[in-house]
Amino acid sequence: MASPLRVLIHGGGIGGLTLATALARRGHTVEVAELRDRFDALGVGIIQPTNALHVMREIGVLDECLAAGFAWEVLTIADPSGKPLARIPQPRMDGAPAGNGIPRPALAGILGDAAVAAGAKIRFATTLIGLDDDGTGVTATLSDGSSGRWDLVVGFDGIGSPLRTRLHGDRYAPEYTGFANWRVTVPRHPDVRGVVMATAGRDAKALLTPMTDGLMYLGAVFAESEDFRPDPERAHEELAERLAGFSGPVAEALAAVTDPSAVVYSRISQVTVGGPWHAGRVVLAGDAAHASTPHLAQGAAMAVEDALVLAGALDAAASVPEALESWEARRRPRALWVQALSRAVLRQETGAPTTPEEDELLKTGIPGAARVLAEPY
């Protein structure tokens, strides 16, 4: 489309800020309504695989991400003591680095600054309270009292997406997988120069991810009942009990944790919006449309791919509805494949029974999946 569009993005997280930057750089008028009062995120790390880094390069923030994080090329599979069993070089996409670990707050700051520098307006502590799509445009009312008319409204408002609820009620509510992720930030062990996946028996895996030169995070997934919450007085001891079979870097990392509040506990849920991701000129993207389990470290990568591909589809199509059709046709197969494979890996790694369809998917394996994901999105 030749003329600049007016786009409202609901949610200034990883996907929303990437879209804001990509669209504002193309000359579109962009506003972001974000519930938080500043660019921020949970204080743990995130893995940016090569496809996410490729998007970061396309929106002009790759160097900042690498400077704030810790880039690596090799995934190491290790025994419970940290002794390497296999070193698997990770693919690179079109010259982008293979992977980067980065603190989530640093990534939020980089993406937020880029969106503002590109010309996007951010409305913090703001949410959508009214929406009327008359077919030629959308009138949206925000909680700060403002209202405006938009060519497109994008819900990048996360797994709990209020915009999804507004469109579909609780038809596509997040579904708890029965597993939860324990994470804690610790000093980086000198041997951890890329992601290390240490295994103790069938059901216990620990992931060590460098985030900066000085910090790494330890993550582990366990089956937990839906109403379980770590004891605020001894969450670090509960994590240590679950990882009792490990020595070496994992045990050293656990020994460094003396504050129970340092442990971040997240129940793992997933969401699939089975019907179309758009209704008229309102579209859901990222976790709001297809949140997956974290086992391929691809949720945010899919969100930023969604964002860049949507910006390109709006360039190429003759109208907003046509752009949304072509965008979804391109994004749905890849995002749902990631979701299905991530779920299958979770079940395999945790010893849960897998279905024949999941067994078929798992034949790709993690190295095979990494190669597919390094292909054009």
Q: Which residues bind ligand FAD (CB under 6 A)?
A: 10-16, 33-36, 46-47, 52, 127, 156-158, 162, 181, 266, 286-288, 294, 297-301, 303
Smallest Cα–Cα separation from 166: which of 270, 283, 268, 271? 283
Smallest distance, ligand FAD to C-beta of residue 153, A: 12
Query: Which residues, other chains included, contact 152 with Cβ-Cβ below 8 Å and sequence gap of 6+?
Result: 5, 6, 7, 8, 138, 281, 282, 283, 314, 320, 324
Smallest distance, ligand FAD to C-beta of residue 249, A: 19
The secondary structure of residue 122, as a DSSP letter, is E
Residue number with CB closer to ligand FAD (21 or 181): 181
Q: Any long-range contacts for 364-371 (C-beta under 8 Å, 24+ apart)?
A: 366/75, 366/88, 366/296, 367/88, 369/296, 369/341, 370/49, 370/50, 370/75, 370/90, 370/91, 371/91
Residue number with CB closer to ligand FAD (49 or 249): 49
Smallest distance, ligand FAD to C-beta of residue 341, A: 14
- At 348, phi and psi to the nearest 5? -65, -45
Cβ 218 vs Cβ 44: under 8 Å = no
Residue recorded with tokens 């129940």: 267
Smallest Cα–Cα separation from 66: which of 44, 25, 42, 99? 99
Query: Which residues, other chains included, contact 117 with Cβ-Cβ below 8 Å and sequence gap of 6+?
Result: none
d(CA 177, CA 98): 29
Gyration radius of the chain's alpha carbons: 21
Residue number with CB closer to ligand FAD (91 or 294): 294
Residue number with CB closer to ligand FAD (240 or 338): 338
Residue number with CB closer to ligand FAD (13 or 109): 13
Smallest distance, ligand FAD to C-beta of residue 2, A: 28
- Count CB neighbours of 21 within 10 A: 29
Residue number with CB closer to ligand FAD (157 or 238): 157
Smallest distance, ligand FAD to C-beta of residue 298, A: 5
Two structure tokens written together for 294: 């974290």
Smallest distance, ligand FAD to C-beta of residue 159, A: 6
Smallest distance, ligand FAD to C-beta of residue 26, A: 19
Taking CA atoms, 320 is separated from 22, 206, 249, 279, 346, in Å, by: 16, 45, 51, 12, 37
Amino acid, single-letter form, for residue 229? R
Residue number with CB closer to ligand FAD (16 or 91): 16
Smallest distance, ligand FAD to C-beta of residue 93, A: 14
Smallest distance, ligand FAD to C-beta of residue 180, A: 9
Cβ 242 vs Cβ 204: under 8 Å = yes
Residue number with CB closer to ligand FAD (300 or 374): 300
- Which residue minimizes CB distance to ligand FAD? 13
3-state secondary structure of 308: helix
Smallest distance, ligand FAD to C-beta of residue 101, A: 8
Cβ 288 vs Cβ 11: under 8 Å = yes
Residue number with CB closer to ligand FAD (281 or 295): 295
Residue number with CB closer to ligand FAD (251 or 301): 301
